[in-house]
Amino acid sequence: MLAPRRLLPSMSSLVAFEAVARLGTASAAAEELSLTQGAVSRALKALEEQLGVGLLVRERQRLKLTPAGQDYVGQVRAGLSTIAQASLKLRANPGGGSLSLAILPAFGVQWLAPRLAAFTREAPGVTINLSTRLKPFDFATQPFDAAIHFGREDWPGANHLHLMEEFVLPVCAPGLLSQPLDQAAGLLTLPLLQLESRPGAWGRYLAAQGIAGQRPTGMVFDQFATMTQGAIHGLGVALLPLFLIEAELQSGRLVPAWNRPGGGLGSYYLVWPRDVPMRAPLTAFCEWIKGQLPEPALHP
């Protein structure tokens, strides 16, 4: 239920207030909004009179926010952003049926994106909007219907659909090793590439191979993509998820340094807010993505 009309300022007043709060003068806001300075001033006056609260004070040649204005402008910006996002979705797909999905860069580029054409053929009325997010967020404050999550079933307030467990393999350029090592301990004699967000990955992998208590150091990368390129160009051995390097292994640009895959740090999940009814586009996407994961493909 909407608030009473007397508590709902006009869009023009809110837009003018946000612009003045950001730019500092009515003249600058008027230029940005293609209005007269007088129109902006009248909009601000009408907003303050409707709310019964002073939002701006003049200091020399600039307009400054009052404490109440500082609190209010943040909420106004969030509201305007929500309306803009909704309008963008509607313009992208006037018939409805949009799905906004937050993705992890490596999974999104290497696994999901190549398969999305099949989904659009099966659900031609659904428009998918993709944005990268590296960490869990609050669905209530972000414009997403669902997200790809890596780790455990621990996203607060979300439903989880298990997609795949991660398996990793130590790989390198063929120029670094002509054939795989015959003992896992040989990895410790080679330069080992590290991922910034997974500092203990090598130690866990080596422990699973029977070599406990190791925390090797090496060149650090912030993304799987750049670490993959580093391995391809001979910088060292990278511990990479198998689904990311299928093409590189097939082409021979990367070869196993030790040919025993190990478990990664978790699994990939599709997550969506638990307290929001599922819309038809999300239901269709869930059913489709389940079909992309036949059981034999989950394990090497």
Inter-residue contact 271 to 158 (CB < 8 Å): yes
What mean pLDDT comes out for the span 263-287?
92
pLDDT by residue (tens digit) across 206-239?
999 999 888 888 899 988 999 999 999 999 999 9
What pLDDT sits at residue 199? 87
**CA gyration radius, the chain:** 26
Q: What is the CATH number of domain 95-300?
A: 3.40.190.290
Every domain of the chain and the residues it spans: 5-92, 95-300
What pLDDT sits at residue 8? 85
What pLDDT sits at residue 299? 40
What pLDDT sits at residue 44? 92
Token couple for 37: 């300075």
DSSP letter assigned to residue 278: P
Q: What is the mean pLDDT of the chain?
A: 89
- Coil, strand or helix at 69: helix
Spell out the SS3 assignment of 100-143: EEEECHHHHHHHHHHHHHHHHHHCCCCEEEEEECCCCCCCCCCC
Q: Count Cβ atoms within 10 A of the Cβ of residue 24 and give its class: 0-12 exposed, 13-18 middle, 19 or more buried.
A: middle
pLDDT by residue (tens digit) across 156-195?
999 999 999 999 999 999 999 988 999 999 999 999 999 9
Q: Count Cβ atoms within 10 A of the Cβ of residue 227 and give its class: 0-12 exposed, 13-18 middle, 19 or more buried.
A: buried
What pLDDT sits at residue 97? 78
| % of the chain beyond a pLDDT of 70 | 93
Task: Give percent helix, percent strand, percent coil of the chain, each to the nearest 5.
Answer: 45, 20, 35
**139 pLDDT more than 80:** yes
**147 pLDDT more than 70:** yes
Token couple for 98: 């949009």
Among 67, 76, 58, 83, residue whose Cα is nearest residue 16:
76
293 φ, ψ (degrees, to nearest 5): -125, 65
Among 121, 126, 139, residue whose Cα is nearest residue 92:
126
Do 5-92 and 95-300 fold alike per CATH? no
- How does residue 300 score in pLDDT terms, banded at 50, 70 and 90? very low
What mean pLDDT comes out for the span 22-51?
92
**296 pLDDT more than 80:** no
What mean pLDDT comes out for the span 65-79?
91
**Does this model's pTM top 0.75?**
no
More reliable by pLDDT, 60 or 284 = 284
- Angular region, 185: left φ>0, alpha ψ -120 to 50, beta rest: alpha
Exposure of 203 in the CB half-sphere (CA atoms within 13 A): 8
Token couple for 295: 């059981």
CATH fold group of domain 5-92: Arc Repressor Mutant, subunit A (1.10.10)
Residues 6+ apart with CB under 8 A from 109: 225
- How does residue 3 score in pLDDT terms, banded at 50, 70 and 90? low
Give Cα separations from 131 to 104, 242, 282 (angstroms). Answer: 9, 23, 16
Inter-residue contact 237 to 165 (CB < 8 Å): no
How far is it, in rounded angstroms, from Cα 238 to Cα 243?
14
